[in-house]
Structure 1
């Protein structure tokens, strides 16, 4: 009996120890969320004893999977057909070539697809069911069944490598990041005013001259005066490197669309070959950002050059499309060019816009002759759209609507929802960006189908694309920070069914996805624990509301500008504002602060909660906060006009009237105007303040290089019921400046009345 007892204890301990060693599966939290996912009982144990079986059509995908597992988890799969197995099976009943079925049971994993594309996306979902890291050579995967297919055929991401150049290794990593999220198109922006990045053997000066600029702008374009680093900068991809990248992308089911800009954004090429321009003058590769007047001249030598370039580009990229840009092409050189004016007459064209259409149409014909199709930004609509062109609509959705109604294919990439070079947070410490404000939630709720389209017209919408312009992204780490997690939100926009999408659920899955990004050494922003705030007005009182994006955490705050701690006041209700204060707040997980500190200066002044009216509405893009933001006690960001605290107008003048509920004694009026020449934003030349009692004062603003222009008017103390501010906007932008000839923007901030 004694011996039996010891054996029993040993056996029980053995069972307990074995139970402890059984790996547990992670909760399925796939991004983009599948169309259908059913959890079943049990787990599949993946270890060195598992075999991989596949048909020849799926060999490359099976090899990709096996190599990934070996590299990330040190598990080597076998080819034996005994025991647990992973199978790739062809299923011709799946009519969508990108569709897949993933079935996981305790004994096998089956990925069914009609093509390698679908099988590859099945693999990407399977990889997200695996733990981020494991110390053992064994892992458990939750049993389930997924039936999945994409919403759109075009799921793209763009990368500008001309403003800043990135290595082949990073381009491969970028492609891996897209593939992980089932994105299938990489738009490679290879030529610009600031650099030419693709080797063209017939034109060696493109590598010798156009690929390098003598120096680069320091800081933001809006900073005045402009300063430069004095360092030669550049580089290009050899044709051998490009073939290597194209092959790498194809193995990950990613098609590359090369972009060769024309007729604008071509200063680098003209610097190498001055005869391509209208003047023939020697110019330099651009050293700062913006839009430049030197563009390709539509003469035979230019077309021969571009056709030669296209010949070499076509030989490198097997995909369907060649992107020719077509955007932001100033017509000044063409207006002053005898050849261009003669060509307009010869071809019976109306103006320079139709000349651009002629230019694009001619290049399209050549591109079509090479078995490719032309795709370009929505400016290619101007003057008439080339017959077979596909349009990328970036200036809102108007271009997409126009093209789709004309039965042209379109890709939606509006700057309002798809420009990942814009700020993603209003936090003061956000790294420098070009401007704008595009938070994660706005990307997630983007619908690529414009509401103006009928069901039939909507069929011409191929999908959507995120754009990454790199003026202010010098390093791979910065690029990663700017695209993640917004690209994850976009992946769900273009892949997942709208019925499956839920932003709160997405945020929960994203927190787990961040761990995966960390393990893969992918930098990313995490603003999910950042707080948001907004004022709340009662009849005679002002409150401030704090909101967390992730529930279940404490919010603690201070009102004296000090950093909150775990002992600071717990937020439980809107904060009463009885005087001007600086609120600082943060989320806490017990005693640990999580997320950045929220900070907001709240001004208590006499115009708050009064009645305000405008003579003209602000531009819809820069007026979403409503007219009330001009008297809500909160000033806009000093370096970003894209936040909702600035109102933007594209008019000649605007009149602002504030009506007080009762006679109010006032002595001063303070406001601010934004000043960013590079963004076409100018402070007004003058404005006039009028009170209902007959007092009037005109203020002339002096020219300054400051980003914000503050103006204060002292008024002999008096009691009024109404005040009016009439602003004369700057007018047309002068020659030599960005946006010359266009109406300047006016941006106005809080109107502080004391």
Structure 2
């Protein structure tokens, strides 16, 4: 699957889907702005985001034209007025007159040559007890008032004013209009959280300064105030350190990059060198650019793990002191800094230069995913543990982080680390960024440490956005728009004294599988707007119906901004549930398939295919549809293996979106009792739920997962049941190739003691036939069915110390 090129209009999307699905459209494709813009009053089209504290719409309009004047009453207000003037000039061609009224007592006395004091946008800095980032915005038919007690408050007011203008204002091309209408409104607004951040990984794939500046612009537009710059990792060192030039000479370069997912059992590489780093002059330029947009830049320099690029440049700082390479794959690696005095002296030099470049009060040191094997093998570390009374490798990590914290404290900075830094004892004054879930933030806040909530399940925008098989490659997981929007950062049962330590929320864009700017845009938008509302708006102000009702207009604005947003929220999702049958245990249970879209106004269509393993149910080839396109109206009862192909259609008709597939298999084992010799690590319920996952993107939640253990499962049919076929789904085969089982054998029994072998797949058979293993045998009658699938185990790859075996279904006929 390749990422669609610039989607400035739906034509690109329609053509791509029509080619892949063979869809016939009743009408030609239209521009997205035409398709999505409904005939509504202007203020109903403009759902502001993030939602302000109070909004009162007025039935009047301000006409913004070439005669509109800007006034300001302070240096700070002047800065914002000039910023807005610069912003509107490309599209409007207007060059507003800017008037300093700081010496005037009555701002209403500003008049034009005809004595008229209207047609003015007033930028005023006023004294108040409001929060620093608060603002007041009022639009009448005569005048626009924008007031705040700080420059940043005025700046955020301007971001709202941008949204009140038609979406065309975002284009950098001139538009010939005599005037631009701004809807009457009165807004009082301020943010919920002080920390509203977004992260960018430039280590896995390097992004140039121009992209980084655009990224900062996007954060400012969404009223985010923190940019976390992930500058170092195993795959590349991206920041110039003058005292250690080899960091960028060697560490910023890797020979090639893995193609496909890093855990593929048959890894391929692109044979293309990847390199890049930021000079200190470029970093100063970016920091100044961000400051002008009220975005704080927090550097992340990862230690003690994720340091392969550092150790490739300076191997003497590892415990084994052997040469390593900048890593060409993604994941977690054993390379780790050794906790010697030489290492801490080296880190002192690095952090001194970093502190001088970044005025932020924070430095992020990573601290996550540290494999401690090299420490345990090190004589030096064993001696250190005795000297420092350290009883575990986790306490060694705590010792390391505390030493780094002391270095950072001496630089008048505060350490931020991922939640693993709590293991073994937390460093004094450290701020915890809770990424593995919410528990890290909860634990830190209860210990009176500040915390930033960044749980990957809700804030990592490198996950898949829909279940469409046309989604571009992502790391894994499922994070649709509504799931982002519904996230609540402060647990309801967290005591108030602890809740005050939740500083805010942090999103992340990791770039293992995001190589280009257009792909990054696709992953960010519109989910960034949902995350912005999580950060800015209070829970009682959030409303999914209001927010989703404005998505179409928001996507249009993104397009005028030249962005490549995702339309995944319009894709339909199909789900299946078991329908309980009667007492006849020998009958296959039925399934009920339902379809829905996050945006409820969409029209859903589907057609059906025969799955690749179910030829006996139909004479038609599985490549040909069993049914033609038909509208979805209510839940569908399914009595035979079926693949559903699902698309959605815009309300005006014509345009189809997405390509979601769901393969379901009603069979005799649905709802039956199943027992395991080794319980799966997760996903027990996926074994007999009737849903196949081989045609889905990779999501661990679609599978029962066994790590370094065999699948050895026994199904109890309650009474003797005639069986002749077992089908197993063993990996997705779509976006991530997993390890098939080494050997599979099927047994039958009536007493669960004496077992008769019914079918056997060798290693060669399993490797050849996955992702769906289809085993047929002569019809037999048994009460118990036993399935044994051998895990390949004994991994020689440190990337995968425990080999996973993924099973998504055991289908019995």
Common fold, TM-score beyond 0.5? yes
Compared CA separation, residues 649 and 446, structure 1 to 2 (3 A): farther
Describe how 1:520-535 pairs up with structure 2 within 5 A. 520-535=561-576
| Matches of 2:196 and 2:563, distance apart in 1 | 21
Compared CA separation, residues 258 and 609, structure 1 to 2 (3 A): same
Larger deviation, residues 280-289 vs 241-250: 280-289
Aligned to 1:109: 144
8 Å CA contact retained: 1:564, 1:586 = no
Aligned to 1:692: 750
Q: Following TM superposition, by how much is the alpha carbon of 1:658 offset from its aligned partner in structure 2, in angstroms?
A: 4.0
Larger deviation, residues 28-37 vs 276-285: 276-285
Q: 1:320-357: CA deviations, max 9, x gaps?
A: 10011111222222222232222222222223322221
Aligned to 1:313: 354
- Matched residue of 1:718: which SS? strand
- Matched residue of 1:207: which SS? helix
Compared CA separation, residues 311 and 183, structure 1 to 2 (3 A): same
8 Å CA contact retained: 1:641, 1:747 = no
| Matches of 2:761 and 2:493, distance apart in 1 | 44
8 Å CA contact retained: 1:672, 1:750 = yes
Compared CA separation, residues 657 and 53, structure 1 to 2 (3 A): farther
1:569 aligns with 2:630: yes
Aligned to 1:98: 133
Aligned to 2:541: 500
| Matches of 2:742 and 2:497, distance apart in 1 | 47
Residue in structure 2 matching 1:718, options 758, 761, 780: 780
Residue in structure 2 matching 1:46, options 61, 64, 68: 64
- Matched residue of 2:207: which SS? coil
| Matches of 1:289 and 1:145, distance apart in 2 | 50
Aligned to 2:162: 127
Compared CA separation, residues 277 and 95, structure 1 to 2 (3 A): same
1:242 aligns with 2:242: no
Q: Following TM superposition, by how much is the alpha carbon of 1:295 offset from its aligned partner in structure 2, in angstroms?
A: 1.7
Describe how 1:349-364 pairs up with structure 2 within 5 A. 349-364=390-405
1:69 aligns with 2:85: no
1:405 aligns with 2:446: yes
Q: Following TM superposition, by how much is the alpha carbon of 1:447 offset from its aligned partner in structure 2, in angstroms?
A: 1.4
8 Å CA contact retained: 2:68, 2:120 = yes
Aligned to 2:153: 118
The structure with higher relative contact order (CA 8 Å, sep 6+) is: 2
Q: Following TM superposition, by how much is the alpha carbon of 1:633 offset from its aligned partner in structure 2, in angstroms?
A: 3.1
8 Å CA contact retained: 2:469, 2:697 = no
Q: How many pairs are equivalent?
A: 724
1:549 aligns with 2:598: yes
8 Å CA contact retained: 2:740, 2:767 = no
Larger deviation, residues 260-269 vs 334-343: 334-343
Q: 1:145-172: CA deviations, max 9, x gaps?
A: 1111111111111111011100100000
Aligned to 2:607: 558
- Matched residue of 1:423: which SS? coil
Larger deviation, residues 135-144 vs 336-345: 336-345
Q: 1:296-316: CA deviations, max 9, x gaps?
A: 122222212211111111111
Compared CA separation, residues 613 and 38, structure 1 to 2 (3 A): farther
Residue in structure 1 matching 2:729, options 663, 668, 672: 672
TM-score, with length taken from structure 2: 0.83
Q: Following TM superposition, by how much is the alpha carbon of 1:536 offset from its aligned partner in structure 2, in angstroms?
A: 4.5
8 Å CA contact retained: 1:356, 1:383 = yes
Residue in structure 2 matching 1:85, options 120, 124, 128: 120
Structure 1 alignment gaps of length 5 or more: 1-22
Describe how 1:82-481 pairs up with structure 2 within 5 A. 82=111, 83-133=118-168, 135-451=176-492, 453-481=494-522
- Matched residue of 1:559: which SS? strand
Structure 2 alignment gaps of length 5 or more: 1-40, 100-109, 112-117, 169-174, 582-589, 611-622
Aligned to 1:580: 641
- Matched residue of 2:60: which SS? strand
- Matched residue of 1:407: which SS? coil
| Matches of 1:316 and 1:478, distance apart in 2 | 29
Q: 1:501-535: CA deviations, max 9, x gaps?
A: 12222111111110111011111111122112122
TM-score, with length taken from structure 1: 0.89
Aligned to 2:702: 645
- Matched residue of 1:473: which SS? coil
8 Å CA contact retained: 2:201, 2:510 = yes
Compared CA separation, residues 135 and 26, structure 1 to 2 (3 A): farther
Compared CA separation, residues 735 and 201, structure 1 to 2 (3 A): same
Q: Give the root-mean-square deviation of aligned CA atoms.
A: 3.1
Larger deviation, residues 343-352 vs 201-210: 343-352
Larger deviation, residues 644-653 vs 389-398: 644-653
